[in-house]
C-alpha cells in the first residue's frame, strides 16, 4: 500500500514539472508489463508548384488556411497560353483543309482544263509536222535554206515534248494525289492536333489545385512574381491519414507485427490516448534517430515501424513526440544474452 502511494506521489509531482509526462512514461514502462516504444508523428508535406512557368496572377489562400482536395489556390496569367492555343487551333484548321484537298483529288474543272491543253498540244504538233514536211521537200529541191529546215525540225521536236508533258499532267490529274502525299498530310494534321493538346494542357496547368485535404504551411511567392516550372509556391501539410513513425529494438522485435493494436500517448493529453494499428515493420535495421528519446543507447540498432492513427484530432501535430504502448502482446521473444 505504501509503495502504491509513493508511486502516485511521484507521478503527480512529475506531472507538475516541465518533464512530467516523460517521467510518467518511464515509470509507466517500468511498472507495466506492456512494452512501451517511442516515436514521432510523421511529417507529411507536399511542395506545390506549377508545371509551367509564368507570371503569378492570383494567390488565393494564406498560411494556416485549411484547404480541400481539388480546391484552386493559385493561378498564372493565362494570356500567353491562350494565344498559343489559338495559334495551334488555326494550324489544325489549315492542316485539315490541306488533307481534305488531297483526299478529294482533282476537280472536274481542272481535268477539263488539262484535257483542253492536251488537245491544243496535239494541234500544235500536227501543224509542226506539216511545216517540217514542207521544209523537207523544199530542202531536197534546194528551194529552202538549211536554217529554215533546222528550225522546222526543232519546232517539231518541241511540239512533241509539249504534248507528252500535257498528257502526263492529264494522267496525274485523273489519278489524283499520291497515297504518300495523303499519308504525309494526315501525319501533319496529327502532329498539329498533338501540339494543340500540349497547348491545352499548358493552359490548364496555369491553375494550381490542392491534391488532398490539408493545411497551408508556407506561402512562398506573391501575386506578380515570375515563377519557373516546378518552383515551390505553397507547402501543404497533409491531414489524412495520420501516421506515427516509431522504433523497436531487436530484443522486442517479435512483439511488433502488422495489425497489432496500440495506444498512443502525447504530452498534451497524457490521460487520453489515441488508438492506432501497426501497418508496416521495416525489414532493415538502422540506428536510432537523434530525434527519438528511448531508454536504450542511441548506437543500438532498431527497426522502424509505422502506425496508422484511428480518429485523430487537431491536437495530434506533425513531428510531435509520441509514446506507444501495445494493447495486445505479440509472440514471446527470448532475452538477448
Q: What is the DSSP letter of 232?
A: -
What is the predicted pLDDT for the residue at 291?
56
The CATH number corresponding to 84-201 among 1.10.3720.10, 1.10.620.20, 1.10.287.470, 3.30.430.20 equals 1.10.287.470
Q: Is 236:67 a contact under the CB 8 Å cutoff?
A: yes
Residue 16, burial from CB neighbour count under 10 angstroms (0-12, 13-18, 19+):
exposed
Beta 207-209 vs 36-41: how paired, if at all?
unpaired
**Sign of the dihedral defined by the CA atoms of residues 234, 239, 240, 246, in that order:** positive
Spatial distance between the Cα atoms of 164 and 150, rounded to a whole number of angstroms: 22
- List the chain pLDDT tens, one digit each, 337 residues: 444 444 444 444 444 444 444 444 444 444 456 788 999 998 889 999 999 999 999 999 999 999 999 999 999 999 999 999 999 999 999 999 999 888 777 667 777 788 788 888 888 888 888 888 888 887 777 776 778 777 888 888 888 888 888 888 777 766 667 788 889 999 999 999 999 999 999 999 999 999 999 999 999 999 999 999 999 999 999 888 889 999 988 888 888 889 999 999 988 887 889 999 999 898 887 765 555 555 544 446 788 999 999 988 878 888 889 999 988 654 444 333 3
At the top level of CATH, the class of 46-76+207-237 is mainly beta
Beta 321-326 vs 36-41: how paired, if at all?
antiparallel
Q: Is 213:67 a contact under the CB 8 Å cutoff?
A: yes
CATH architecture of 33-42+242-337: Beta Barrel (2.40)
Q: Is 313:266 a contact under the CB 8 Å cutoff?
A: no
Hey, what's the cell of 327? 494493447
- Alpha helices by DSSP H, listed for the chain, are 2-16, 20-31, 79-104, 108-140, 146-175, 179-204
Residues facing residue 216 across a β-bridge: 236
Q: Is 309:316 a contact under the CB 8 Å cutoff?
A: yes
DSSP-based helix, strand, coil % in the chain, nearest 5: 45, 25, 30
Q: Is 224:56 a contact under the CB 8 Å cutoff?
A: yes
What is the three-class DSSP state of 147? helix
* Residues near 91 by beta carbon (within 8 Å), at least 6 away in sequence: 192, 195, 196
Spatial distance between the Cα atoms of 99 and 188, rounded to a whole number of angstroms: 9
What is the predicted pLDDT for the residue at 28?
47
> In angstroms, how far is CA 23 from the centroid of its own chain?
49
Residues facing residue 263 across a β-bridge: 275, 325
Spatial distance between the Cα atoms of 132 and 202, rounded to a whole number of angstroms: 71
Amino acid at each position: 500500500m505504501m509503495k502504491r502511494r509513493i508511486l502516485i506521489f511521484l507521478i503527480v509531482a512529475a506531472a507538475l514539472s516541465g518533464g512530467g509526462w516523460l517521467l510518467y512514461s518511464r515509470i509507466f514502462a517500468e511498472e507495466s508489463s506492456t512494452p512501451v516504444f517511442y516515436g514521432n508523428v510523421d511529417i507529411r508535406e507536399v511542395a506545390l508548384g506549377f508545371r509551367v512557368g509564368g507570371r503569378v496572377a492570383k494567390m488565393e489562400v494564406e498560411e494556416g488556411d485549411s484547404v480541400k482536395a481539388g480546391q484552386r489556390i493559385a493561378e498564372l496569367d493565362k494570356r500567353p497560353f491562350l494565344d498559343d492555343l489559338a495559334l495551334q487551333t488555326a494550324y489544325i484548321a489549315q492542316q485539315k483543309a490541306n488533307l481534305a484537298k488531297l483526299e478529294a483529288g482533282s476537280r472536274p474543272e481542272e481535268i477539263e482544263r488539262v484535257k483542253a491543253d492536251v488537245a491544243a498540244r496535239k494541234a500544235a504538233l500536227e501543224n509542226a509536222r506539216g511545216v517540217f514536211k514542207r521544209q523537207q521537200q523544199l530542202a531536197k529541191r534546194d528551194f529552202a535554206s538549211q536554217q529554215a529546215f533546222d528550225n522546222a525540225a526543232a519546232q517539231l521536236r518541241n511540239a512533241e515534248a509539249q504534248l507528252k508533258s500535257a498528257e502526263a499532267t492529264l494522267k496525274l490529274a485523273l489519278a489524283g494525289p499520291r497515297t504518300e502525299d495523303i499519308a504525309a498530310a494526315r501525319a501533319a494534321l496529327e502532329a498539329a492536333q498533338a501540339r494543340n493538346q500540349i497547348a491545352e494542357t499548358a493552359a490548364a496547368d496555369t491553375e494550381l489545385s490542392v491534391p488532398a485535404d490539408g493545411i497551408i504551411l508556407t506561402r512562398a511567392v506573391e501575386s506578380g512574381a515570375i515563377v519557373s516550372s516546378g518552383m515551390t509556391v505553397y507547402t501543404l501539410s497533409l491531414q489524412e491519414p495520420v501516421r506515427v513513425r516509431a522504433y523497436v529494438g531487436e530484443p522486442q522485435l517479435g512483439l511488433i507485427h502488422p495489425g497489432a493494436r496500440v495506444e498512443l500517448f502525447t504530452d498534451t493529453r497524457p490521460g487520453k490516448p489515441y488508438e492506432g494499428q501497426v501497418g508496416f515493420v521495416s525489414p532493415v535495421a538502422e540506428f536510432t534517430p537523434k530525434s527519438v528519446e528511448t531508454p536504450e543507447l542511441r548506437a543500438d540498432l532498431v527497426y522502424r515501424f509505422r502506425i496508422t492513427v484511428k480518429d485523430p484530432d487537431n491536437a495530434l501535430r506533425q513531428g510531435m513526440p509520441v509514446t506507444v504502448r501495445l494493447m495486445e502482446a505479440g509472440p514471446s521473444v527470448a532475452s538477448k544474452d
